Amino acid sequence: MTHLVDSGQRSLGVTFPNEHEATIQVWAPLAKYVAIKIYGHPTALPLTCEELGYWSLTTSQIKPGDLYTFKLDGQEEYPDPVSLCQPQGVHGPSQAVDTGIFRWTDDSWKNPALESYVLYELHTGTFTEEGTFQSLESKLDYLKALGVTAIEIMPVAQFSDSRNWGYDGVYTYAVQNSYGGANGLQHLVDTCHKKGIAVVLDVVYNHFGPEGNYLGNFGPYLTDKYCTPWGKAVNFDDAWCDGVRRYVLENALMWFRDFHIDALRLDAVHAIKDFSPVHILQELRQKVDELMAATGRQHYLIVENDLNDPRYIDPLSEHGYGMDAQWNDEFHHALRVAAGEATTGYYADFDGLNHLAKSYKDAYVYDGQYSVVRNQFFGGKAANNPGKQFVVFSQNHDQVGNRKLGERSSQLYSFDALKLLAGAVLVSPYIPLLFMGEEWGETSPFFYFVSHTEPELVEAVRQGRKEEFASFHSNGEDVPDPQSRETYQQAKIQWKLIDQKPHRILLHYYQTLLALRRELPALAHLDRTRLNVDTDPKTETLVLHRWHDDQHVVCLMNFSKQAQSITLPAVGEPDANWQKLLDSADERWQPESASGTSEAPESVTSTGTVLCPPESFILYVQPHEKSRFHLPDPISQGLYLS
């Protein structure tokens, strides 16, 4: 079916090739009769049966803004599987949308190089009190001042009601109406580009949500050939799979072409089952390459994948799937255990410091070793994959929201440890990701939440959450009710905190770290071959040494609760000194209640020793004059927030 996918335009659903007529195409291979019912018209219009299960019609009787449904075999009416708008929710009629009428102003926009991405993951509904794209725009100046270069938006595909993480979307093409719909997303992207911020959109191709899912009435979108955590698998290689593959490919191209999205983050691709000669991800890569060649715009494909299989990120020329980058959960797990996380659940595979050091060097912690959690030898080596192909973090929506009580790091670790975790992520040779509010130590939990309208489904979700925590992150407390509006409201971040101590101190610390990462060549170049890392499990310390050309940076990390002496490495000229650029225990980064500050010297000779305070992060550099680096102006609530 690849010949039916045109990277230059969307053909599925209702499209408007010109202002006088619409083209309608729907895939319903098992239907005997298909018609479109346009609200306000007396009779339904029949579609013509084409090859391979497609039905089509060209008509002047439907206009942008009209409501419509499809009628199958003269019986039930259903919303369009390729609906771009569901103004009355997942069970209501679809609304025709012409995505081509938006007036873009980003002709001069150039997507930054992937290695310069600083990702900021956010959930539209809880990022602001209003929970809309429009209100999100008011925070873009703040994000720019922080040092963010790309926002990553959790899924926006239409879901039931208005409260959901987004992974239960049932209309893959429709933008959530309560967020602002298609026009609202286009306006947000255009505004982001105007301010120099790229946009990454999280999409879900491994399963479809439950409520309002009428895909099965149109065709075999699912197959029982495989079993997944959500039941039947999306049909990428069984009978009639070509229609499903086209559905996914056209969707991805639509986000890039019609919404100017800069990158897609594909959810849990390890749950995509496909034994076709050309894997769906390979085909996606090919189609995106065709689009980029035609438009001259750069787009990236980033995947969530827990298989530790570099084939996913290897180029097509090396028989890989061609994805540009992947999330690396193992860096997170090793870092959290190093900081004191209990080794239960999936953390049982990680020993902390040694595994963190391995992840700094090798990206994957498990690249052929035996995994106790999986009860098997696991993973492959990513020796030839550059640092820009891995995204690392100390928290994200999954790692926070999949805790029983949704605790953020600020509720689990000391203020000093928060600064240490931030330093460990931001000096890595990988793409960093921050989770909304992390930079000021947000205290609100981030729970899992839904707003289903079907009682049986609501109860199934509640029971599933209880079972999930039977032996992991379970301390006897009740699981917060995911259906409750209060659960959702509690997840909204508190912008007022950034003007309060110690939150504003942590915020300026993050801002400074990001500026250092941007301005120091040894940190800005994501070269994991120019890196040494040493650990001392007895003292719970780690020394990360990175360099580029003649510049060397050494990062001292003390994960213990006591002060520890660390010897700096000998590099550069014999008489060259290490100069301190950042010390998390300095007075400026301490709340007023702190008992003491760092005694780490401003300058240290090669192989000199530094006494690192408990749970501290210190960065030294050579050769480099401190006058060449200027601390950014602290983010002001009055200046950057509206």
265 is in an annotated binding site: yes
399 is in an annotated binding site: yes
Mark whether 304 is an active-site residue.
yes
Please classify residue 595 by burial: count the beta carbons closer than 10 Å to its beta carbon, then call 0-12 exposed, 13-18 middle and 19+ buried.
Answer: exposed
- Where are the alpha helices (H) located in 195-318, listed in sequence order? 215-218, 241-259, 280-295
- Closest C-alpha among 369, 450, 365, 447 to residue 405: 447
Give long-range contacts, CB 8 A cutoff, 24+ apart: 277-280: 279/321, 280/205, 280/236, 280/245, 280/248, 280/249
Q: Is 368 helix (H, G, I), strand (E, B) or coil?
A: coil
177 is in an annotated binding site: no
For the residues of 48-69, what is the DSSP string, one character each?
Answer: EE-GGGEEEEEESS--TT-EEE
Largest interatomic CA distance in the chain: 89
CA distances in angstroms from 442 to 407, 417, 551, listed in the order given = 10, 14, 35
CA quadruple 85, 90, 403, 491: dihedral sign: positive
342 is in an annotated binding site: no
In angstroms, the CA 150 to CA 118 distance is: 6
268 is in an annotated binding site: yes
573 is in an annotated binding site: no
Q: With b meaning 16 or more CB within 10 Å and e meaning fewer, what string describes 215-234? A: bebbbbbbbeebebebebbb
Structure tokens at 119: 């990702």
262 is in an annotated binding site: no
Question: Cβ atoms within 10 A of the Cβ of 289, count?
Answer: 14
Active-site choice (137, 202, 304, 367): 304
- Rg of the Cα atoms in the chain: 26
In angstroms, the CA 290 to CA 20 distance is: 29
270 is in an annotated binding site: yes
In angstroms, the CA 545 to CA 431 distance is: 17
Active-site choice (262, 267, 314, 439): 267
Question: Cβ atoms within 10 A of the Cβ of 574, count?
Answer: 7
266 is in an annotated binding site: yes
Place of tokens 């390890």: 270
Mark whether 267 is an active-site residue.
yes
H helix or E strand, kind and range, residue 264: strand 263-266
C-alpha of 140 from chain center: 17
332 is in an annotated binding site: yes
267 is in an annotated binding site: yes
Give long-range contacts, CB 8 A cutoff, 24+ apart: 410-415: 410/441, 410/442, 410/443, 411/443, 411/445, 412/341, 413/339, 413/340, 414/615, 415/441, 415/502, 415/506, 415/591
Peptide linkage before 537 cis (omega within 30 of 0): no
Residues of each annotated binding site for substrate: 265-270, 329-333, 397-402
Residues of each annotated binding site: 265-270, 329-333, 397-402
Catalytic residue numbers?
A: 267, 304
